Amino acid sequence: METDTITAISTPIGEGAIAIVRLSGTKAIQLTSEVFKGKNLQEVDSHTINYGKIIDPQTQEIADEVMVSVMRAPKTFTREDVVEINCHGGMVAVNRVLEILLTKGARLAEPGEFTKRAFLNGRIDLSQAEAVMDLIRAKTDKAMNVALKQMDGRLSGLIQRLRQDLLETVAHVEVNIDYPEYDDVEEMSHEVMRTKTREVHGEIEQLLQVAKQGKILREGIGTAIIGRPNVGKSSLMNTLVQENKAIVTEIPGTTRDIIEEYVNVRGVPLRLVDTAGIRETEDIVEKIGVERSRQVLKESDLILFVLNYNDELNKEDVKLFEAVKGLEYIVIVNKTDLEQKLDLDRVNELAEDRPIITTSLLQEEGVDELEKAIANTFFSGDIDSGDLTYVSNVRHIQLLNQAKQALEDAMEGIELGMPMDIVQIDVTRTWEFLGEIIGDTASDSLIDQLFSQFCLGK
Ligand code: GDP
Ligand code: ZN
Which residue's CA is the nearest one to ligand 1's atom 17? 232
Which residue's CA is the nearest one to ligand 1's atom 6? 232
Dihedrals phi, psi of 108, to nearest 5 degrees: -65, 130
CA–centroid distance, 267 to ligand 1, in Å, is: 27
**In the CATH scheme, what architecture does the domain 220-384 have?**
3-Layer(aba) Sandwich (3.40)
Q: For position 176, what pLDDT does the model report?
A: 58
CATH topology of domain 136-215+393-451: Four Helix Bundle (Hemerythrin (Met), subunit A) (1.20.120)
Pocket of ligand 1 (CB under 6 A): 227, 229-235, 334-335, 337-338, 360-362
**Could you tell me the pLDDT band of residue 151, with boundaries at 50, 70 and 90?**
low
Per DSSP, 335 falls in state -
Q: How far apart are CA 83 and CA 22, in angstroms?
A: 6
Task: Name the amino acid, one letter, at 136.
Answer: I
Q: Residue 227 CA: which ligand 1 atom is closest?
A: 3
Which residue's CA is the nearest one to ligand 1's atom 15? 232
**Could you tell me the pLDDT band of residue 215, with boundaries at 50, 70 and 90?**
low
- SS in 3 state form for 389-424? CCCCCHHHHHHHHHHHHHHHHHHHHHHCCCCHHHHH
CA–centroid distance, 280 to ligand 2, in Å, is: 7
Q: How far is CA 31 from CA 82, 217, 229, in A?
A: 11, 41, 64
Q: How far apart are CA 336 and CA 339, in angstroms?
A: 7
Which residue's CA is the nearest one to ligand 1's atom 24? 335
Dmax (CA) for the chain in angstroms is 87
Task: Write out the H or E segment, with its range, that includes residue 330.
Answer: strand 329-334
**Stretch among 160-164, 260-264, 384-388 having the lowest mean pLDDT:** 384-388
Q: CA angle 50-51-57, nearest 5°? A: 105
CA–centroid distance, 410 to ligand 2, in Å, is: 54
The model carries a pTM of 0.49
* Nearest residue to 222 (alpha-carbon basis) of 176, 188, 260: 260
* Contact call for residues 319 and 294 (beta carbons, < 8 A): no
User: What pairs with residue 356 in β-bridges?
Assistant: 331
Q: How far apart are CA 272 and CA 270, in angstroms?
A: 6
Per-residue pLDDT of 397-415, as tens digits, reads: 888 999 999 999 999 999 9
Q: Is the ipTM of this complex over 0.90?
A: yes
Q: How far is CA 101 from CA 42, 63, 250, in A?
A: 16, 11, 27
- The residue among 36 and 458 whose pLDDT is bigger is 36
What is the pLDDT averaged over residues 127-136? 71
Task: Name the amino acid, one letter, at 357.
Answer: I
**54: pLDDT strictly greater than 90:** yes
Q: For position 123, what pLDDT does the model report?
A: 80
Give Cβ neighbours of residue 357 (< 8 Å, ≥ 6 apart): 330, 331, 332, 333, 366, 369, 370, 373
Give Cβ neighbours of residue 449 (< 8 Å, ≥ 6 apart): none
Q: For position 189, what pLDDT does the model report?
A: 76
Per-residue pLDDT of 72-104, as tens digits, reads: 999 998 999 999 999 886 767 888 898 899 889
Helix (H, G, I), strand (E, B) or coil at 265: strand
Q: Residue 238 CA: which ligand 1 atom is closest?
A: 7
Q: Residue 363 CA: which ligand 1 atom is closest?
A: 23
Q: How far apart are CA 385 and CA 129, in angstroms?
A: 24
Q: Show binding-site residues.
A: 22, 84, 123, 230-235, 249-255, 274-277, 458
Which residue's CA is the nearest one to ligand 1's atom 18? 232
Listed by start position, the domains of the chain span 6-109, 136-215+393-451, 220-384
Q: How far apart are CA 305 and CA 324, in angstroms?
A: 9
- Which regions of 146-283 does DSSP assign to beta strands (E)? 221-227, 246-251, 258-265, 268-272, 280-281
**120: pLDDT strictly greater than 70:** yes
Q: For position 364, what pLDDT does the model report?
A: 92
Q: How far apart are CA 236 and CA 328, in angstroms?
A: 18
CA–centroid distance, 70 to ligand 1, in Å, is: 59
Q: Residue 235 CA: which ligand 1 atom is closest?
A: 7
* Contact call for residues 262 and 249 (beta carbons, < 8 A): yes
Which of 133-147, 337-351, 417-431 is modeled with the greatest confidence?
337-351
CA–centroid distance, 279 to ligand 2, in Å, is: 10
- The residue among 30 and 450 whose pLDDT is bigger is 30
**What sign has the CA pseudo-torsion 332, 337, 340, 341?**
negative
Q: For position 207, what pLDDT does the model report?
A: 84
**250: pLDDT strictly greater than 50:** no
Per-residue pLDDT of 286-336, as tens digits, reads: 666 677 777 778 878 889 999 999 999 998 899 899 989 988 899 999 999
Q: Give the rounded percent of residues in the chain with a pLDDT score beyond 70.
A: 71
Q: For position 338, what pLDDT does the model report?
A: 97
CATH topology of domain 6-109: Gyrase A; domain 2 (3.30.1360)
**Stretch among 90-99, 122-131, 136-145, 167-176 having the lowest mean pLDDT:** 136-145
- The residue among 80 and 447 whose pLDDT is bigger is 80
